[in-house]
Amino acid sequence: MTAALEITGLVKRFGEKVAVDGVDLNVPQGSFYGLVGQNGAGKTTTLSMAVGLLRPDGGTAQIFGADVWADPTRAKALVGVLPDGLAMPERLTGREVLTYLGLLRGLPPEVVAERAEELLAVLELDQAEKTLVIEYSTGMRKKIGLATALLHAPRLLVLDEPFEAVDPVSAATIKTILRGFVAGGGSIVLSSHVMALVEQLCDHVAVIDKGGVAAAGTLSQVRGSQTLEDRFVELVGADDGEAKELSWLSR
Amino acid sequence: MAVALTMARMKIAIIRNSMTGQRAGLITLGGLLGVALAVGTIALSLTGPELLGPAYAVWMLGWILGPVFAGGGDETIRPEFFAPLGLPPRRLAAGLLAAAFVGIAPVISLLALTGLAVFGIRQGVAAGLVALPALLLQLVVFVLLSKVAVAVFGLALRSRVSAIAAGLINGMVLALLGQGWVFAVAYSEAGGVPPVVADVVRAVPSGWGLVAVESAAAGRWGRVAAALAALALLAVLLLAAWAVLLTRRVGRARAATGGRRPMRATTATGAVLGKETRTWSRDLVRTHQLTFALAYGVFFAAIPLLMGWDQMLPWAGPIFILMAAAMSANIYGTDGTALWLTLLTPRAGDVRGRQLAWLLFVTPVALALTLPLTALVDGPWPLVLSIMFALLGGGAGLVPLVSVYGLVPGIDPHKRGGNPLRTTEDDGSATGMMYAMLALGLLTALPAGIVALRYGWAGVPVGLATGVLCWWGLGALAARRLRGHGPELLHLMRTGRRDTGAGTMARYEDLPRRDQAIVGLCMTLCPIALFPQGIVPGVFKITGVDSRAWFLALYLPSWAQWPTIILMVLLGVALGAASIHLLQKYRRRPDHAEMIERARHSPD
């Protein structure tokens, strides 16, 4: 079976710095795939290259067999993306953003209207009908971003830090939606540095460190008998494993 | 005092870190221009002291308005940096003020103000001595006026009414400055500064220092004390006002909360159009820009009425179009990283939608200005109409094109701090882009204008044709660039750095320092020589426009004018070619590092 997302030998250099150095990933169809790593490990760079938002210096990315760079129209129709911290059409309301994007995606207007209505209700954004996105809180921005990613019913979701700054109630809603998406045959790749969350949601995991893949596979393969957090610290952690304390803070 | 010193030191450090490469070249060039203006002002104190008052009024206007056009002024040290410290507003303002005196602009203004001292010494020792405190106080008032203006402006952009009012006032004042020749003519006709003007420039704060010095020369010590005290008092009041305004500096430009009509588009381009028209009408920064363009066009065309000349009136519309294009020159940059959505929907026709929206806002206003005003003065219909159509199409084509090719990374709208004018970190480039747009926009009107001058009405179909061609062709070019380089543009917006792979030219940063400076200087001077000093005066001569403005060639005896124009064009081309040659010389290839190494050690 073709992989939902197949990344081969992705490389990205920024000047002298090699941000991503030959990353290979295979996200099977129907899997819930977690990408964990420290800040600056190369998660966002990898995901950006995988969905066509950043041009790699080497390597390929295929979404259900469609090459993101050679066949972008087909590849991009199959994927829903939630990037971290990027702007939206800020002077539109949530519903207008969804209408706008649905039409850009080529959906019929009545389908767009119907799905927008449902997404806003499920994500509890319908209260803010008159609010422009620029006035949204960080959590609301994540939710409207997720709605734009889901709108065209993609078969793969690529989510960069989807739970950052999201309140626990909204997080529970999002988790339910994502689990339902996977249960319905969809595939998800998400990045996070919250290990407990990845353990709770994902069935596959890859540890990204210094631009490369330190470990990848099913959750049980990667963590073995340890918790994911212990295994993670072991893989990427500090030299002696002991966290340093600030002497002047304890009395 | 400690706070003030620390902030000043911080600013010195930041300036030192940012003086690299092209930026350093631009700053140096700007500094040299400023010094030239300052020396000119000092020269006035020797050759034409009666012009000193008007000159300082212009300096003051520059301080007040400059920041409005240079992206919200000097924000090297921002109040937000110190928010967690909990400083009392006065101390914060005093510290920021100290930092505000560190920089090139205050030094240049100080130099210009030494004209007061020169003027004073020529009147006597006492007047010379009075000039010292006067010029220092004057500088403090200038800097503070600038800060308060920016702060007031930031508040103004929170409601639609005040955004429009600010746009009107700014457009009017800039048009006044742009039409300075009217005052020059008035000056020569009246055989000196008209008494009204002389009174006004002494009544406004920029003239108080001059009043003090003049009064000292005349021995009227009461007036000296009053003028100096007034300056000091104004400085204190401005500082207090600024301190209060700093505490108000929260949040961003509020979006207008008008009616929310549902989006009824049914196609992708229709959706882009819907998004853009909403952004134009809801974003107060854009509202301000359009109002500014409108006010500029109207006042620029109306000011010559003061001289009894009404033939400028029909041009209000075309000038508005040109200004509106210049204001939209960085349209992709101001939307920031929202570009990612465009990249994920490759076939959606983003460029066409933006072009339509721009035309939708600009065309009705242009028509509403041009038709009645041309009818009113029975102006040159064929010429005006052909240029208007050519400019509409030219602007609609150039706006997306210039924006994707010259993209200046903007600050994402939701991350803009308390200063809504600041849409980019790189306001030098953004301003340069505006000028480029003005020059390119003029070029698109050239064919239609020439045909209309020669053959009258034949110009109108030519204008329509070039307009449609520009709209369609330049738009297609922009769309192609967006498809081909979308990820690079997004990266530039995300990080502020260009992500160019191996290409036909070296990256600017790859050049050795010496060549960076040369390329920076060439790239800056090339367009100046080519367009305003070469092509534009050439066009003026061909079309018989009777204005010399700042075109060197037109000030020379007539036999030297054409050679100068040709020389300027050649110079511009040569400068451009030189920088391209240098960039190609260091083209990225395996051995380029070695080449650079060699160049660093070469004897020349």
Q: Average pLDDT for residues B237-255, to the nearest whole number?
A: 71
User: For all residues of chain A together, what is the average pLDDT?
Assistant: 89
Domain match, A19 and A107 both: no
- Residue A241 covered by a domain: no
- Nearest residue to B383 (alpha-carbon basis) of B462, B325, B302: B462
How far from A120 is each of A98, A147, A150, B432, CA to CA, in Å? 9, 8, 11, 43
**What is the distance between the alpha carbons of residues A118 and B539, in angstroms, rounded to a whole number?**
60
How far from B68 is each of B72, B167, B363, CA to CA, in Å? 5, 10, 26
Residue A54, burial from CB neighbour count under 10 angstroms (0-12, 13-18, 19+): buried
For position B604, what pLDDT does the model report? 39
**What is the distance between the alpha carbons of residues B136 and B312, in angstroms, rounded to a whole number?**
41
For position B549, what pLDDT does the model report? 64
Q: Average pLDDT for residues B403-408, to the nearest whole number?
A: 89
Q: Which residue of A has its CA nearest to B333?
A: A87
- Residue A124 covered by a domain: yes
Per-residue model confidence as pLDDT tens digits over B22-50: 566 667 777 788 888 888 888 888 887 88
- Residue A33 covered by a domain: yes
Question: Could you tell me the pLDDT band of residue B600, with boundaries at 50, 70 and 90?
Answer: very low
Domain match, A136 and A34 both: no
**What is the distance between the alpha carbons of residues B439 and B329, in angstroms, rounded to a whole number?**
12
- Residue A222 covered by a domain: no
Residues in chain B closer than 8 A to A73 (CB atoms): 346-347
ipTM attached to this prediction: 0.90
Chain A: give the shortest CA distance to residue B525, in Å.
29
For position B54, what pLDDT does the model report? 86
For position B528, what pLDDT does the model report? 75
Interchain CB contact of A104 with B (< 8 Å): yes
More confident residue, B540 or B311: B311
Residues in chain A closer than 8 A to B262 (CB atoms): 95
Chain A interface, best mutation among B257, B283, B351, B414, by max A CB count within 10 A? B414
Per-residue model confidence as pLDDT tens digits over A1-30: 889 999 999 999 887 888 999 999 999 999
- Residue A226 covered by a domain: no
For position B372, what pLDDT does the model report? 92
- Who among A85, A87, A103 is closest to B271 (CB)? A103
More confident residue, B117 or B97: B117
How far from B268 is each of A91, B278, B341, B346, B512, CA to CA, in Å? 18, 15, 13, 11, 47
Strand partners, A204: A33, A218
Domain match, A96 and A107 both: yes
With an 8 Å Cβ cutoff, are B336 and A87 in contact? yes
Report the 3 state secondary structure along B499-532: CCCCCCCCCHHHCCHHHHHHHHHHHHHHHHHHHH
Interchain CB contact of A251 with B (< 8 Å): no
With an 8 Å Cβ cutoff, are A52 and B343 in contact? yes
Question: Could you tell me the pLDDT band of residue A32, with boundaries at 50, 70 and 90?
Answer: very high
Read off the CATH number of the domain in which A9 is found. Answer: 3.40.50.300
- Residue A234 covered by a domain: no
Chain A: give the shortest CA distance to residue B51, in Å.
48
Domain endpoint, select from A106, A134, A153: A153
Q: Which residue of B has its CA nearest to A130?
A: B260
Domain match, A108 and A135 both: yes
Residues in chain B closer than 8 A to A134 (CB atoms): 252, 255, 413-414
Tokens 């938002």 belong to A53
For position A16, what pLDDT does the model report? 81
With an 8 Å Cβ cutoff, are B268 and A103 in contact? yes
Domain match, A4 and A65 both: yes
- With 50 as the cut, is the pLDDT of residue A123 above it? yes
- Nearest residue to B422 (alpha-carbon basis) of B67, B65, B18, B174: B67
**What is the distance between the alpha carbons of residues B301 and B322, in angstroms, rounded to a whole number?**
13
Domain match, A50 and A63 both: yes
Domain match, A32 and A102 both: no
Domain match, A74 and A163 both: yes
Residues in chain B closer than 8 A to A85 (CB atoms): 337
H or E stretch including B537? helix B536-543
- Who among A87, A95, A109 is closest to B413 (CB)? A87
- Residue A220 covered by a domain: no
Q: Which residue of B has its CA nearest to A79?
A: B344
More confident residue, B11 or B504: B11
Domain match, A176 and A203 both: yes
Chain A: give the shortest CA distance to residue B412, in Å.
6
Q: Which of A35-49, B102-116, B296-310, B558-572 has the highest mean pLDDT?
A: A35-49
Chain A interface, best mutation among B344, B351, B415, by max A CB count within 10 A? B344
Domain endpoint, select from A153, A173, A200: A153
More confident residue, B417 or B257: B417
With an 8 Å Cβ cutoff, are A76 and B346 in contact? yes
Residues in chain A closer than 8 A to B357 (CB atoms): none
**What is the distance between the alpha carbons of residues B210 and B258, in angstroms, rounded to a whole number?**
49
Interchain CB contact of A99 with B (< 8 Å): yes
Residues in chain B closer than 8 A to A130 (CB atoms): 257, 260
Interchain CB contact of A233 with B (< 8 Å): no
Chain B interface, best mutation among A81, A134, A137, A156, by max B CB count within 10 A? A134
Interchain CB contact of A40 with B (< 8 Å): no
**What is the distance between the alpha carbons of residues B395 and B335, in angstroms, rounded to a whole number?**
19
Per-residue model confidence as pLDDT tens digits over B331-354: 998 888 999 999 988 777 899 999
Domain match, A9 and A129 both: no
What six digits make up the tokens of B277? Answer: 């028209």
Q: What are phi and psi of A82, to 5 degrees?
A: -125, 95
With an 8 Å Cβ cutoff, are B275 and A100 in contact? yes
How many domains does the structure of chain A reveal?
2
Domain endpoint, select from A99, A123, A153: A153
For position A186, what pLDDT does the model report? 93
User: For all residues of chain B together, what is the average pLDDT?
Assistant: 81
Q: Which residue of A has its CA nearest to B336?
A: A87
For position A243, what pLDDT does the model report? 63
Chain A: give the shortest CA distance to residue B395, in Å.
23
Contacts of A15 (CB under 8 A, 6+ apart): none
Q: Which residue of A has its CA nearest to B263?
A: A96
Full residue range of the structural domain in which residue A115 is found: 86-153
With an 8 Å Cβ cutoff, are B266 and A87 in contact? no
Q: Average pLDDT for residues A50-58, to the nearest whole number?
A: 92
**What is the distance between the alpha carbons of residues B563 and B569, in angstroms, rounded to a whole number?**
10
More confident residue, B545 or B176: B176
Chain A: give the shortest CA distance to residue B249, in Å.
17
Domain match, A139 and A35 both: no
- Residue A221 covered by a domain: no
Per-residue model confidence as pLDDT tens digits over B78-104: 777 776 777 777 778 788 888 888 887
Domain match, A65 and A38 both: yes
